[in-house]
Structure 1
C-alpha cells in the first residue's frame, strides 16, 4: 500500500495530506454536527473516528461531573458476545484509560502493552496493541475521551492524531449543541408532565390517586425504575404511601423508614437527597434498597408545608442522574407539591359545599316535613280519641303508628345528612362519636359519650351496624321528648349477659319528659330482638334505653 490509501500507515510528522483525507474529515465533521440527539451523537462520534482512521475498535468515554470516572462508554467494533464476555466496562480508575482522564492530552502509542502505565485488558477482551487517545472538550470542560485501537495496516501516525484532534474539537461543539437541545427537550417534557399532573389533581381524584399520579408521572419523566411518595408517620419516621413501577410494585407501599435513620434528618427537614447506589449507601436502611441503584429523594413542600418526599430510584447498574435531571426533578416536585395543596383546598371547598347543601336539606326536613307530619299525627290522635266506632279508631290508630314510624325514619335520615360527606371514621369508636355529633345539631348540645373496654377490637360488623342503628333510634327518640337538656351515651364491652356469655351494652340516658311513642317490642325491630334487647325505662328524671347483645354474634 502507498501513503494515502485506506489502511496505509501514516508517516510520523507528516501533515494531513490528500484531498481524500480532507474530504473524509469534512464529511465526518458535517455528519457529527448534524445529530441533535445526544446519545446518538456520541455513538456517531465513536463510529466516525473509527472510520476516519481505519481503527478496528473505538470508544467514547463520558466523564462524570467531577471529571474523575467514566459513567458511560459508547463503543465501536465490539460484538454483543464480546461485550458480554468483557463484563463491566472500565471506570477509568487505572491504566491508560485513567491516564488520559488524569492528564487530558493526546496520547499515541505503537504498542500499549509495552507502556508501563498500561494495566492490560480484562479477560475476554480482544487483543489490542496500537493506541490513540484524544480528549473531547466542551468549552473548557473535558466532557470525555476518545479511544482508538488496532489500526488496520499498522500503528497510528501523526496524521491520524491530527485528524482525530480536529474531529474531537468539532465533536465537542456537536456535543454542546446536542446537550442544549436535549436539555431543552427534557425541560419541555418535565413542564408538560407538571401540567398533566396539575390537570389530573384538579380533576377531583382521591388523595391516594393524586399521590399515585405524581409518582407515576415523575417515574416516566425521570426514566426511573420506580416512583414513590413517602409521608411522615406519627412515630417520627416516613412511610411509602403511593408507588408506581415498571412492573409489580409489591412490597413498596407500606415500607417504612424508621426513626433514627440517617437520611430522615434531611428528608423531614425538606432537603433533597441524591444517592449514587441505594443498595450500598449507609444512609439507606429500608428492606427494598437492594433493588435499586442511583436515586433522587426530593421534598414535596410548598409555602413552608412539607407534604412528603418524592423518591425516584433507578435499577442497580443504571446511569446516575445528571445535574440537569436533578434540577428538573426538583422543580417538578415543587410544582407537584403546590398542585397537591391546590387540589386539597379544592377538595375541601367541594366537601364544604356538599356539607352545606346537606345541612340545608336536613334543616328543611326538620323544620317543614317533620313538623307537619307531627302536627298531622296529633290531629289524627285527637280524632281517634273522639271516634265512636271501634273499627274507625283502630284504623286511625294504625295511621298514627305509620306516621310515627315515618317521623322516626325521617329523623334518622336527618342524622345521616348531618354527617360529614367524606373521610368517614374507620373505627367503631369514631362512628359512635360521629352519630352523637350529628345528633348535637338537632338537640342543641353535644351528648356525653363514655366507652368501657376495647370497643374497637371487639365490636365488628354486623354487630356494629345493629348497635349504631339502635343508637340512632335512641337519639331520635330523645330529641322527640320535651325538656331534654342532657343525653348520656355509654358503650360497655365488659358486661356479662344473663347466660354467662360476653356481651356489649349500649345505654342512652336523657332527662326529658313526655311520651315518645316507643314502648315495648315492635315489628320494625326497635324492641326485643333475637340477639339483643332495646328497652326504654322511664324514671323520675328522664328515660334510659338499654340495648344488649352477645359479642360472639358479631
Structure 2
C-alpha cells in the first residue's frame, strides 16, 4: 500500500477491508512454509502502510527467535545488522515472553526498548501481534513506522485478523512441510536399506548411513561412532562436504560425561557442541546444534549416529529429532540384516568348501591311492630294471600328489578369516602368505602326526626357520618352485625346504651335521 493511499484512507478502516479480504485469501495460497512466512510479512506491511515489517519465528522450547523474515529492508541493510536478535531482550523479547498485542507510539520512551543491533533502521512507532497455530505461539509479527503517524486501533484490528489467518496458513504449510520431510526421510531409509543389502563391506555400509543422514538432516557432517575396547567411542565413518579425514579416528575418551548416555543407547541433543561441557573432542569447536542418535536394534548397540550443524545454524526442531531417530533405528536394523546376510553368504561358502573337500577325499584320494597300490604291486612283479625304475618314480609322484590333495582338503576346511589353531594350519598360513611374494604357491608335504607330536616351543622355532627359508628363496633369482616337507616322529619335528634354483638350495631344521 502506498503513502498516497494511506493519506486518502486516513484512519478509517473501511476502505482497507477489500485489501484485508484479498490479503486473507492470498496468505493461504502458498504451501511452502518459508514462502508463506515471507508472504505474510509483505502483506502486513502493505496493508498497514508500514515502512518496515518483520516476522520472528519463536522456538517454543527455548523461547527464542530462530528465524526472522523482513520486509522493507534491503540486503545491504540486513548484512549491516548481522545476526538476528535472539528475542531474549528488548521489545522483541517482550513480545516473546508475553505474547499479547503490543502498540507503541514512541519506541524510545518505552523502558523495555534496548538491545537494538547496530545498523538497524531507526524506528519510531511499533505494533506487534503474536501468530498462533492452534494453541501454540509460532511467532510474532512486527511492523514499524507509519508515514502518516502512529499506528491506530484500526491497524491493530486489521493486523490481528491477518495474524489469525496467518496462523491457519502456517499450520497448513507446516503440515505440508512435515509430510514432505517425513517422505524424504522414509525414502532415505529405504535407499540405505537397499544399499546395505547389496553386500557392501562394513566400512562402506557405515559411510553410506552417515552420508545419507547428513543430507537428509541438512547437517554439516554425518559421523558414525563405535565403542572402543578401552571404554570410549571412536569415529569410524564420516561424511562432510569437505575432506572427512580429520574426523575419522577422533575418539571420545573414557570418562566423558556424554559416554554414559551413548553407551546406554540413549539419544543426546546438544544446543552448541562448542560450549557444551559434555562434548570433549577436539573437533567440537567447529560445530553447533547436534544430534547423537543410537544405532540400536533388538537390544544390540551397533554405534552412534552424530549429525552436527555448523555454529550459528538453526537448531534442530522436534520434528527433525523424531524423524532422525526413526531413520537411525531403521538404519541399525538394515546394518544388522546386512551383517546377517553376510554371515549366511560366508556359511554358504564354507559349506561349499566342505563339499569340495569331501568330494576330493572320498573320490580323488581314494582313486589315487588305489592306482598307487596297483603300480606298487606291478613294480614288485616286474623283472626289468628300467620298468622298475619308472614304476618307482610313478609311485613317488602319486604319493606326492596324494599329500598335496590332503593338504588342500585341510586348507578348505579352515575358515580363511580365522587364525589357525593347529600347527598344520599355521604352516599353511605361512606358505600361503609367502605365495604373494614368490608369485607361486609352495608345495607342502606333511609326514606323521604333525599336530599331535608338535610342542609349542619346537613348533615356533620350526615356523621361524620356515619363514626365513621362504624369504631367502624369494631373494634368490630364478626360483620357480619351492617344496616344503615337514616330518613328525618320536624324535620331534623336522623341516626340509628345497627350491629349484641354479643350483638348487636345501634348508633343513634342525640343521643337519
| TM-score in same-fold range (> 0.5) | yes
User: 2:30 and 2:241 mapped to 1: Cα distance?
Assistant: 30
* 1:362–1:418 contact (8 Å) kept in structure 2: yes
> Does 1:488 find its partner at 2:454?
yes
Q: Structure 1 residues 302-311 or 152-161, which shifts more?
A: 152-161
Relative to structure 1, the CA distance from residue 82 to residue 412 in structure 2 (aligned partners, 3 Å threshold; closer, same or farther) is farther
Tell me which residue corresponds to 2:40: 45
Which of the numbers 199, 205, 215 marks the counterpart of 1:204? Answer: 199
Deviates more, 1:168-177 or 1:131-140: 131-140
In 2: Cα distance, 1:373 partner to 1:164 partner: 99
- Tell me the equivalent position of 1:519: none
Once the 2 structures are TM-superposed, how far is the Cα of residue 151 of structure 1 from its aligned partner?
2.8
Q: Write the distance in 1 (CA, Å) between the matches of 2:264 and 2:219.
A: 24
Equivalent position SS for 2:14: coil
Q: CA deviation at 1:545?
A: 3.1
Distance in structure 2 (CA, Å) of the matches to 1:40 and 1:353: 56
Q: Would the alpha carbon gap of residues 97 and 403 (structure 1) be closer, same or farther in structure 2, given more than 3 Å must change?
A: same
Summarize deviations over 1:73-106 as a string: whole Å, max 9, x none: 1122322222222111110111111111122122
CA drift at 1:435: 7.3
Matched with 1:433 is 421
TM-score (normalised: structure 1)? 0.79
CA distance in 1, matches of 2:307, 2:8: 51
Residue 544 of structure 1: aligned partner: 494
**Which residue of 2 is the match for residue 513 of structure 1?**
none
Superposed, which structure 2 residues align to 1:451-462 within 5 Å?
Answer: 462=434
Q: CA deviation at 1:388?
A: 3.6
Say which SS state the counterpart of residue 327 (structure 1) adopts.
helix
Residues 40 and 370 of structure 1: is their aligned pair in 2 closer, same or farther, counting only changes over 3 Å?
Answer: same
Residues 1:385 and 1:391: Cα distance change in structure 2 (over 3 Å): same
Q: Following the alignment from structure 2 to structure 1, what is the Cα–Cα distance between the partners of residues 304 and 118?
A: 44
Q: Secondary structure at the match of 2:296?
A: strand
Decide which of 316, 336, 340 is 2:311's aligned counterpart: 316
Structure 1 residue 319: Cα displacement: 0.6
User: Following superposition of structure 1 onto structure 2, how do residues 231-246 of structure 1 map, counting pairs within 5 Å?
Assistant: 231-246=226-241
Q: Where does residue 251 of structure 1 map in the other structure?
A: 246
Aligned partners of 1:542 and 1:460: how far apart in 2? 24
Structure 1, 257-266 or 312-321: larger mean CA deviation: 312-321
Cross-structure match for 2:322: 327
Per-residue deviation, 1:172: 0.7
Within the alignment, does 1:217 sit opposite 2:167 as a pair?
no
The Cα of 1:170 is off from its aligned counterpart by: 0.6
Match of 1:103 in 2: 98
Aligned residue number for residue 504 of structure 1? 464
Q: 1:55 aligns with which of 50, 54, 63?
A: 50
Alignment of 1:346-365 (within 5 A): 346-365=341-360
CA contact (8 A) 1:10 1:156 kept: no
**Residue 271 of structure 1: how far off its partner (Å):** 0.7
Q: Separation in 1 of the partners of 2:378 and 2:59? A: 96
More helix by share: 2
In the alignment, which of 254, 258, 261 is matched to residue 256 of structure 2?
261
The CA deviation string for residues 305-350 of structure 1, in whole angstroms up to 9 with x for no partner, is 1111111111111111101111111112112222222222222222
Query: 174, 184, 193: which is aligned to 1:189?
Result: 184
Give the match for residue 17 of structure 1: 14
Partner of 1:8: 7
Aligned length: 488
Alpha carbons of structure 1 residues 390 and 81: separation in structure 2 relative to 1, 3 Å: farther
Distance 1:486 1:32, change over 3 A: same
Q: Partners in 1 of 2:406 and 2:308 — Cα distance?
A: 55
Alignment equivalent of 2:295, drawn from 300, 310, 313 = 300
Offset of 1:237 from its aligned partner?
A: 0.7
Cα deviation for residue 280 of structure 1 reads: 1.1
C-alpha distance 540-323 of structure 1, shift in aligned 2 (>3 A) = closer
Give the secondary structure class of the aligned counterpart of 1:259.
coil
Alpha-carbon distance between aligned partners in 2 of 1:396 and 1:279, rounded to the nearest angstrom: 83
CA RMSD, 1 decimal:
3.5
Report the counterpart of residue 512 of structure 1 in structure 2: none
Q: Tell me if the contact between 1:278 and 1:289 (Cα under 8 Å) persists in the aligned partners.
A: yes
Structure 1: how far apart are the matches of 2:480 and 2:20? 100
Separation of aligned partners in 1, 2:323 and 2:88 = 30
Q: What CA distance in whole angstroms lies between the structure 1 residues aligned with 2:508 and 2:32?
A: 73
Q: Deviations over 1:32-68 (max 9, x none)?
A: 1111121211121112112222222211111112362
Match of 1:477 among 446, 454, 460: 446
Mean Cα deviation higher: 401-410 or 241-250: 401-410
| Structure 1 position 176 matched with structure 2 position 171 | yes
Contact 1:135 1:146 in 2 (8 A): yes
Residue number in structure 2 paired with 1:526: 483
Q: Which moved more, 1:394-403 or 1:324-333?
A: 394-403
Q: Which residue of 1 aligns with 2:368?
A: 373
Shift of 1:378: 3.1
Whole-angstrom distance in 2 between the partners of 1:76 and 1:389: 114
Name the SS of the counterpart of 1:526 in structure 2. Answer: strand
Distance in 2 (alpha carbons) for counterparts of 1:97 and 1:411: 85
Structure 2 gaps, min length 5: 468-478, 498-506
Cα distance in 1 between the residues matched to 2:432 and 2:351: 31
TM-score norm. by structure 2 comes to 0.85
